[in-house]
């Protein structure tokens, strides 16, 4: 793995597909996403960064997914299904919700699940293009290693009212072979419907990614370091996690108190049994990263700090304050990925409590870290994020999905912070948001990104996530009129040209080795 030496100066926008406008209550992979790619290309942007695109879990979080390999059915476009003859007008009408405003996941999830079920019934009855049948058969064969277990997991979960797997009957919770085989036979059609839903997601994603590539846009995807406790991954491979005799976590993941939360962040994900991963050469991780490379051109490895050492909290603790640092797999994991997959393009998310050992691990494998401009001037002020300190191999952001929007951040600056910001960048007095964006675009870093909210000048009402909270997150959607207004994209294109960020076509991911 490496950060290619021949990369060119470029820039991009952070926007999760769920935040796109559209008539179905949530952004999806359909026509609006293709229009969004066109908008990015006209604005001279080379990178589109998204959050994890797997199924959402607790709190509707994309970082609490029931599978590290599966796709999010909420992103499936009803319009694209209709174009394939797998949805009728009545199916589309059944997905209609208020076109504007935040995502209402409860309404969206039920409608999208019904849409996929109807598409499966049509397909099973022989409707749709013949070519789709061959594609589905190929998908089932190529993805069977994770797809069969995930489809079985979801079908059993549906059969038991959506309850977590540890609340299923004991034989199923324990993944008893006889009980699992019996369930597979009883739920065969439901399992096939889940397989088909995954096929639809990946088919639509592949079409969108191809459209992006044709327009000179590459996709940065987010790979969470941990998986959810209630997931096919933990249910099917409990040996890879630190669980007790009842298959409940002994420790859960989080981070100690930091600039995001005074009590730390208690994520609740089970901790890996790194000795078990080492024993088989980190095969599960190799498969996981290989799958991500089928989706993305560049991977942001979330919480890279946890590879060197991670914060472990006893299961049942009320906050993340009482925890301890334990050693992670370190260079052994990264070397295994490099040996199996070659030069994997990874951005190391190195925010939080970063030690010299974390920096050394990142540098050993030539991975770029992240620079957050907001942290240079307000809130948790860190001099390492001052723009003049950025080197080529730092990926610069105004803020991430965990930060307030830059307008919201600027409104909360103290008087001393405002003075410090104005001393560094005098224009910040009149235009704090535009100034921060320009500081990033003008920096020496090869790659700089900002959330769409910042280009639109939106305040805290448009924030995507508040770390340490479990409600009200992941719901923001952009207004269609604001998105289609050419003023912001023309302005972005102008200073992208001024700061020479319209380089050659971005580096795509390398061909990976076969299994």
Element (H, E) at 182: helix 177-186
Domain for residue 147, yes or no?
no
308 contacts 354 by C-beta, under 8 angstroms: no
CA distance 157 to 281: 31
Domain for residue 135, yes or no?
no
Model pTM score: 0.95
Q: What is the DSSP string of 424-482?
A: H-GGGGT-HHHHHHHHHHHSS-SEEEEEHHHHTT--GGG----TT--SS-S-----HHH
Q: Which of 302, 308, 393, 454 is catalytic?
A: 302
Q: Which of 84, 230, 233, 349 is catalytic?
A: 349
Domain for residue 452, yes or no?
yes
CA distance 230 to 235: 7
Domain for residue 202, yes or no?
no
Nearest to 360 by CA among 289, 309, 299, 302: 309
The Cα angle at residue 222 between residues 137 and 391, in degrees rounded to 5: 135
- How far apart, in Å, do the first and last CA atoms of the chain sit? 18
> Helices 130-142 and 105-124 meet at what angle, rounded to 10?
110
Domain for residue 438, yes or no?
yes
* Number of structural domains found in the chain: 1
Q: Which of 127, 359, 402, 480 is catalytic?
A: 402
Give me Rg for the CA atoms of the chain: 23
Domain for residue 256, yes or no?
yes
Domain for residue 243, yes or no?
yes
Domain for residue 209, yes or no?
no
- Give the pLDDT of the chain (515 residues) as one tens digit per residue: 555 555 789 999 999 999 999 999 999 999 999 999 999 999 999 999 999 999 999 899 999 999 999 999 999 999 999 999 999 999 999 999 987 899 999 999 999 999 999 999 999 999 999 999 999 999 999 999 999 999 999 999 999 999 999 999 999 999 999 999 999 999 999 999 999 999 999 999 999 999 999 999 999 999 999 999 999 999 999 999 999 999 999 999 999 987 777 888 899 999 999 999 999 999 999 999 999 999 999 999 999 999 999 999 999 999 999 999 999 999 999 999 999 999 999 999 999 889 999 999 999 999 999 999 999 999 878 999 999 999 999 999 999 999 999 999 999 999 999 999 999 999 999 999 999 999 999 999 999 999 999 999 999 999 999 988 889 999 999 999 999 999 999 999 999 999 999 865 444 444 444 33
Nearest to 393 by CA among 356, 362, 437: 362
Catalytic-residue membership of 308: no
Catalytic-residue membership of 302: yes
Contacts of 61 (CB under 8 A, 6+ apart): 470, 473, 474
Q: Which CATH number is 255's domain given?
A: 3.20.20.80
Catalytic-residue membership of 402: yes
Instruction: Give the domain extent around 290.
Output: 10-73+220-498
């Amino acid at each position: 793995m490496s950060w290619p030496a021949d990369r060119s100066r470029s820039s991009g926008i952070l926007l999760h597909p769920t935040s796109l406008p559209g008539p179905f209550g949530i952004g999806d992979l359909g026509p609006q996403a293709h229009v969004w790619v066109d908008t990015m290309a006209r604005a001279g942007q080379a990178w589109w960064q998204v959050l994890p695109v797997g199924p959402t879990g607790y709190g509707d979080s994309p970082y609490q997914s029931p599978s590290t390999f599966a796709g999010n059915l909420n992103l499936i476009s009803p319009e694209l299904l209709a174009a394939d003859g797998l949805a009728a007008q009545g199916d589309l009408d059944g997905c209609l919700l208020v076109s504007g405003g935040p995502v209402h996941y409860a309404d969206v999830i039920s409608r999208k699940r019904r849409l996929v079920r109807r598409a499966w019934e049509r397909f099973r009855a022989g409707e749709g293009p013949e070519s789709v049948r061959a594609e589905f058969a190929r998908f089932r064969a190529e993805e069977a290693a994770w797809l069969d277990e995930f489809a079985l997991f979801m079908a059993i979960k549906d059969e038991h009212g959506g309850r977590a797997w540890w609340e299923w009957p004991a034989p199923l919770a324990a993944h008893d072979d006889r009980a699992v085989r019996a369930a597979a036979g009883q739920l065969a059609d439901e399992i096939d419907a889940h397989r088909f839903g995954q096929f639809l997601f990946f088919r639509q994603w592949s079409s969108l990614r191809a459209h992006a590539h044709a327009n000179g846009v590459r996709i940065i995807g987010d790979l969470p370091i941990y998986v959810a406790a209630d997931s096919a991954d933990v249910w099917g491979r409990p040996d890879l996690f630190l669980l007790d005799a009842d298959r409940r976590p002994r420790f859960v993941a989080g981070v100690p108190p930091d600039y995001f939360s005074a009590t730390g962040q208690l994520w609740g994900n089970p901790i890996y049994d790194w000795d078990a991963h080492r024993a088989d050469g980190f095969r599960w991780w190799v498969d996981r990263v290989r799958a991500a490379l089928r989706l993305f051109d560049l991977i942001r490895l979330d919480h890279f700090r946890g590879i060197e050492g991670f914060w472990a909290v006893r299961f049942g603790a009320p906050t993340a304050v009482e925890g301890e640092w334990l050693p992670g797999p370190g260079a052994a994991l990264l070397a295994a990925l490099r040996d199996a997959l070659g030069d994997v393009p990874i951005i190391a998310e190195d925010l939080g409590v970063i030690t010299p050992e974390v920096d050394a691990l990142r540098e050993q494998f030539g991975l770029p870290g992240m620079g957050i401009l907001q942290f240079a001037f307000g809130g948790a002020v860190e001099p390492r994020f001052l723009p003049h300190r950025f080197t080529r191999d730092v990926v610069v952001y105004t803020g991430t999905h965990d930060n307030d929007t830059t307008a919201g951040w600027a409104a909360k600056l103290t008087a001393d912070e405002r003075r410090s910001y104005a001393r560094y960048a005098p224009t910040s007095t009149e235009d704090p948001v535009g100034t921060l964006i320009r500081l990033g675009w003008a920096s020496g870093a090869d790659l700089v990104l900002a959330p769409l909210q910042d280009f639109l000048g939106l305040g805290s009402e448009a924030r995507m996530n508040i770390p340490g909270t479990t409600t009200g997150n992941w719901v923001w959607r952009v207004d269609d009129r604001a998105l289609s207004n050419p003023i912001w994209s023309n302005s972005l294109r102008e200073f992208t040209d001024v700061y020479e960020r319209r380089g050659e076509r971005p580096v795509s991911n390398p061909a990976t080795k076969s299994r």
